[in-house]
Structure 1
Amino acid sequence: MLHQSLSVAPLLSDPLAADLPVSDLPEVCDQDELPCGARLLQGQYQIEQALIAGGFGITYLARDSLDRRVVVKECFPGEICERVAGQVRPRGPAQLRTYKAVLRSFLREAHLLARSQHPNIVPVHQVFRENGTAYIAMDFIDGLDLLTLRETAPARITPQMIDSCLRQSLAALDFLHGQGILHRDISPDNLIWTSADRLMLIDFGAACPILPDDARSADEPMAVKDGYSPHELYDRSNAARAASDLYALAATLVFLRRGEPPVTGPERLSAVTHGAADPMEALLAEAVTESPLWHTVARALSILPKDRFATAQDWLAALPQESAPVAAPRPRLEAPAGAPTDLQPQLLSRIASLVAETNGNLTAGLPKVLQPEPVIDPEAEARNKPKPVDLFGQPISDLQAWLSEQDSAPRRDLRKPAPRAAVPADQARSTPQTEAAPARGLLSLNRFFGKRTASPSGSAS
């Protein structure tokens, strides 16, 4: 997957500085979502459609300048802001301070996340300001969020899927908390399950740094989601901890199991404070009987932070060992309805006859290494032995006699001319000169190829 290099606007040093030029929008756009076709960052991103609107922003499907699908998240806390003529602004002077705090937090944490890389955290392309607000461009993840998955394909929510979802989520949170960041918005709609059974954590609009209690600001926006946020996040005076994200993750698993979020954190705390039973007690007691995994979920969903897991690593260590997938049993072949049931003897008889027929031409015996040496018949061996032949393919009946004959034949150096017999002078003048008789060893060759004679022109024929 290709990622663009991080490009953070210079305005990050002062998030409340003047905005960049207004994007290419219609003249009047008095609605929450950006219209289809709107362009951002000087045309680098073109909005295709709005995907989802949350408490802190709107998520869009868009195309970048390389025609790649991306997701653009716009900081748009709808409770305190509005869009007028394409510009996002607070609804009134009373919301101005909170809106500035939301923008500052959005840009700061988006900048940190843009430098974080983890297999279960959506990669960030760019962070920039425009239209009086801020934007994050991220990878497009092909999958379904857990909210949609539970509503449209509940059969995919299996115990194995829940176990894998939990482990991958804890790995992402462990990395995020190690960077000093709290997500604060863990919920089914912010966790995507891909077609490759991979979990991706998205939407960091509510993220905040992990700070000590005395460093918290009264201007810090409250980030809560009923059913998923623990009671301490409903009070700005309480510090957000890693255990708060773990509570929200446990609540998400409860949603996957029953299709409904748990009772809200403040309701549970109020019930216990007034001496009543925890509204989630019966449900959790039923769940823990299914698997040891739900024992850990029940602990992470404890009302008081001190009773929960302190870190994601603690929860991972408490999980049961991952078991190897069990192979599905092979389907059992059943006889067709109405078929006779006494075919087994006939079948065995037929198999035996086929084996006998196939092995009829085989001779039983010992392995080759254990077989005795074969008895050799000298006469048969002599008959089967190939007969020697001479140069012309003629059989040689007595090889020794033939070799002796060849050894006793006179030999000469073929490189020297053969000696000629003395001829009287008068015969030499009257008789044409003939070739000397060839050596004895060449007689057979002359007979085979024919004697060379001189042609009238003097050339050899």
Structure 2
Amino acid sequence: MTAATGAEIEQDINQGSEALPHGTALLEDQFTIDRPLGNGGFGITYLARDNYLDRNVVIKECYPEVFCLRQSRKVLVRSTQHHEKYRTIVEMFMREARSIAKMRHPNIVGVHRIFEDNETAYMVLDLIQGRDLLGIINDEREKLAPDQVKEILIKLLDAVDLVHKRDLLHRDISPDNILLDKWGSPVLIDFGAAREEASRETRAISSVLVVKDGYSPQEFYFAGGKQGPSSDLYALGATFYHLISGVAPPNSQTRMAEFAANNPDPCEPLAGRFPEYDNDILESIDKAMQVLPKARLQSAQEWMSLIKAEERRMKPVRVIKNDDLGKTLTRLVSETNEYVMNSEPRESLKTPVRPTEKSEDKVQSAPAWVEEFNRETTDAPPRTKRAALQHEGVTEKVTTRPGMLAEPAKKRKRGLLKFFSRR
């Protein structure tokens, strides 16, 4: 990767050319950009076309704007001193995409492919047809029922629990990053700000930390802040605070300043204010949104236990590994064979059934076509290969023995009579 000159930087900034234009081909001609969907501090999201599978997809481009700019299609670092940090972020982006792709969950967006192009990295994700929670919050006609809100929370907690078990943080949970599909089921999207073992990489990524006022916890606002599962839970709590109350919570930095000054918390608790909701739901959200990390809920499982969600949580089905399945099938076949070989014959098989008078008549008098067939196959002159070839207009010297076709006919005759004698 090369560094851009000062004139190039000024030209591209003035043109506002951060996003790729409509019709841009990626990975040769496998994908085509339609239009940008969003632009954050870390990446740009596009609606695109998968030309091989003939379907629409979402493509996330690694584009940390603090370190880079675009010249034509290529991404250039603003300064050579940022080159190492930029490459660290691209490699982290690729590693995180692989980790997210392994998280198969109905409430987590699917990642289908990652690749490098234009001196940066891209991930290809599912296109979810639906609306984000922010749009629903702002639409007075789309008021969600308390039972539906609880169902959405339970599904998202199950998804976040899986994220944290994979040693990942989402780091950007907010109403605009939660979609409701056409069945009303939530899907957690935009892991572009995710950081595997984020606390170990704070120096390298401190310049591209993504924060959203009202949703990000206070430790997201400064480099070196200790981040963990409770950080994501704060953001999830703030999202549902906004969904239930209709008002976004105050900035966590403001809350922290008031806390340090021993002043009242500017964030009014939900508990006791919304009687249509179960109080355990409201109290759990308030606890997840505590200013100090140690005072919050520490895991998604802890949160689910508070709202008695375990009985409604999606239960994973135990999948037998291929090796185990092969061993199981081999054992079943072996046991079956042993049973058949060692079992005594059934009485119905040891004692022949005495035929009735009608059945004897059937054996003695075979259908007329059987006798005719036996007579024709026995009395007919053998048709040699020469005769067959002559019939087809081909002359060939063939040596045959008389009766070489009659013998199989006799065998067929005996077979037929034997067949009918058994009936």
Q: Is the TM value for this pair above 0.5?
A: yes
Q: Which residue of structure 2 aligns with residue 411 of structure 1? A: none
Where does the alignment leave 5 or more consecutive residues of structure 2 unmatched? Answer: 3-14, 313-423
Structure 1 position 62 matched with structure 2 position 45: no
Percent of aligned pairs with the same amino acid: 38
CA distance in 2, matches of 1:77, 1:153: 36
Provide the aligned C-alpha RMSD in A: 2.5
Structure possessing the higher radius of gyration over alpha carbons: 1
SS at match of 1:182: coil
CA distance in 1, matches of 2:286, 2:182: 29
Q: Which residue of structure 2 aligns with residue 85 of structure 1? A: 72
CA distance in 2, matches of 1:161, 1:248: 20
Q: Kindly indicate whether the alpha-carbon contact (under 8 Å) linking 2:146 and 2:276 is maintained by their aligned counterparts in 1.
A: no
1:215-254 mapped onto 2 (5 Å cutoff) = 215-221=200-206, 222-254=209-241
SS at match of 1:197: coil
Q: What number of residue pairs does the alignment pair up?
A: 296
1:59-458 mapped onto 2 (5 Å cutoff) = 59-64=45-50, 65-93=52-80, 95-152=82-139, 154-210=141-197, 215-221=200-206, 222-281=209-268, 286-287=273-274, 290-292=277-279, 293-320=281-308
1:197 is displaced (CA, Å) by 1.3
1:99 is displaced (CA, Å) by 2.9
SS at match of 1:71: strand
- The amino acid across from 1:303 in the alignment is V
CA distance in 1, matches of 2:39, 2:141: 23
Deviations 1:231-271 (A, max 9, x none): 11222222211010000000111121234421111111111
CA distance in 1, matches of 2:202, 2:247: 33
Q: Which residue of structure 2 aligns with residue 406 of structure 1? A: none
- The amino acid across from 1:75 in the alignment is C
Aligned structure 1 segments of 4 or more residues deviating by more than 6 angstroms:
none
Q: Kindly indicate whether the alpha-carbon contact (under 8 Å) linking 1:30 and 1:83 is maintained by their aligned counterparts in 2.
A: no
Q: Which residue of structure 1 aligns with residue 346 of structure 2? A: none
Structure 1 position 51 matched with structure 2 position 45: no
Q: Which residue of structure 2 aligns with residue 432 of structure 1? A: none
Q: Kindly indicate whether the alpha-carbon contact (under 8 Å) linking 1:243 and 1:308 is maintained by their aligned counterparts in 2.
A: yes
CA distance in 1, matches of 2:17, 2:101: 29
Q: Which residue of structure 1 aligns with residue 328 of structure 2? A: none
CA distance in 1, matches of 2:139, 2:67: 33
1:110 is displaced (CA, Å) by 0.8
- The amino acid across from 2:113 in the alignment is Q
Structure 1 position 34 matched with structure 2 position 14: no
- The amino acid across from 2:282 in the alignment is W
CA distance in 1, matches of 2:178, 2:95: 22
SS at match of 1:281: coil
Range that drifts further, 279-288 or 50-59: 279-288
Q: State the TM-score, normalized to the length of structure 1.
A: 0.60
Q: Kindly indicate whether the alpha-carbon contact (under 8 Å) linking 1:126 and 1:137 is maintained by their aligned counterparts in 2.
A: yes
1:289 is displaced (CA, Å) by 8.3
1:122 is displaced (CA, Å) by 1.0
CA distance in 1, matches of 2:151, 2:249: 21
Range that drifts further, 190-199 or 315-324: 315-324
Q: Kindly indicate whether the alpha-carbon contact (under 8 Å) linking 1:216 and 1:239 is maintained by their aligned counterparts in 2.
A: no
Deviations 1:364-400 (A, max 9, x none): xxxxxxxxxxxxxxxxxxxxxxxxxxxxxxxxxxxxx
Q: State the TM-score, normalized to the length of structure 2.
A: 0.65
CA distance in 1, matches of 2:300, 2:143: 25
CA distance in 1, matches of 2:273, 2:67: 41
